[in-house]
Amino acid sequence: MTKTQKIILAILSVTAVILVGAMGYYILAFASKPLGPALPVAQQTLPPLWTATPGDPSAGLVTLVPTISFATNTPAPLCGGPSTMTILAIGQDQRSNNYDYGLGDIVRVVRVDFVTPKITVLEFPRDLWVEIPYIADNLNGLDHGKLNQAYLYGQPGDGFAYWDDPSQGPGLLSLTLNLNFGVQADHYLAVNMRTFENVINAIDGITINVPDIETANNTGLTVGRHYLNGAQALKVARNRQQGMFQRVSNQNLVLCAMREKVLSPSIVKQIPALIESFRDNVQTDFTPEQLSQLACLGTKLPVKNIAFASFPQELLTEDIRIFDDPDFPKGLLVTQADFSILRQYVTRFNAGTWPSLPASISIETAPEEETSSSFCP
């Protein structure tokens, strides 16, 4: 090799290293960039009933955290993720291509455990009558509404945007869940009806197993296996002819079918690209890197470790709330509950002890959990 060839080879080698480094930096920067604004930090940092102990000599003192750490036997989180992640999942009720307006008709809080691994999904009834922050100045002092309205009031369309934050509806809904129930969400994902249909179609539909006649009556299908496209799956998920509790069961049926499909070997590697392809049609603050972590976890997640939880039916009652408002001459149908009991369930959910709560732990004021949780078959 001549001296000139050696010089050219050296220049090409250095150029290749620079290009690879630049490409790696670009990919890393893109992978760590959120696809949307982050959730606001919740104001509530203390337990709902916390009070300072009178005469407590430790009040106001600062306790320094020890700098010495000790080895533990706790397994490392899988897929490079955090130990746990809490996601606010929202199903918006509009078929439009944007998220300027619409109610948050499906509200689920998803706890992802990267250590166990395990996923638990807690459903919040959309009609719960809750306190919504930042709306009173826009509604003549009214500071309450349905839970699904918290999302609407944060969106920019139709003269809403009742609070000024880039996270819009997901942010206001997150703060509402925190204020009323102590939910601490890390991330959010909102999907409207059109995008839901498109996602189902993008994974070539789902197959639902209707196990019995009762489920058949609730879903409008017959007993047996059914292949559903996006529009058909949406129809099942939104069917509420048998009441709000049966509607939740229908949605869980669809979610279990989606789980089975998206975690198949032919689909799982496409999940980050699939989400990215819909980035202009969803609201989320996930980064591509975090989506890849979730997709990776899905390949390691046993079916039995996916649980869907709902508050027991006996804790919830429906009521008509009357307003001096011509838009609602017959009032609004709302869901009422003792929030102190619901908070206890949320506390256990946050800790990863419910559903599948050990027999040694119980809540005296709450019914047995078997009436309020289910697993994918």
pLDDT exceeds 50 at position 318: yes
Please answer whether residues 355 and 340 qualify as being in contact, where contact means their C-beta atoms are separated by less than 8 angstroms: no
Nearest Cα to 225, choosing from 251, 248, 196, 205? 205
Beta strand 332-336 with 206-210 is: unpaired
- Whether the predicted pLDDT of 4 surpasses 60: no
Q: What dihedral do alpha carbons 211, 213, 214, 218 form, nearest 10°?
A: 90
pTM here is 0.75
Residue reference for tokens 């009558």:
129
Quick: pLDDT tens for 143-162. 999 999 999 999 988 778 89
Residue 54 CA to residue 46 CA, distance in Å, equals 17
Give the contacts of 364 (CB within 8 A, at least 6 positions apart): none
Contact of 121 with 206, CB cutoff 8 Å: no
Residue 337 contacts residue 128 (beta carbons within 8 Å): yes
C-alpha Rg value of the chain to the nearest Å: 24
Tell me the pLDDT tens digit for each residue of 27-40: 334 467 888 999 99
- Bridge partner list, 118: 113
Q: How confident is residue 20, by pLDDT bands cut at 50, 70 and 90?
A: very low
Tell the CATH topology of 82-188+304-355.
Nucleotidyltransferase; domain 5 (3.30.420)
pLDDT at 26: 33
Give the percent of the chain with pLDDT over 70: 70
Going from N- to C-terminal start, the domains of the chain cover 1-31, 82-188+304-355
CA distance 226 to 57: 66
Question: What is the token pair recorded at 329?
Answer: 């001459």
Q: 161 with 168: CB under 8 angstroms?
A: yes
Residue 343, pLDDT > 90, answer: yes
Query: Does position 250 have pLDDT exceeding 70, yes or no?
Result: yes
Confidence band, pLDDT 50/70/90 cuts, at residue 2? low
pLDDT reported for residue 249: 79
What pLDDT was estimated at residue 254?
A: 85
DSSP annotation of 157 reads S
Note the pLDDT of residue 358: 38
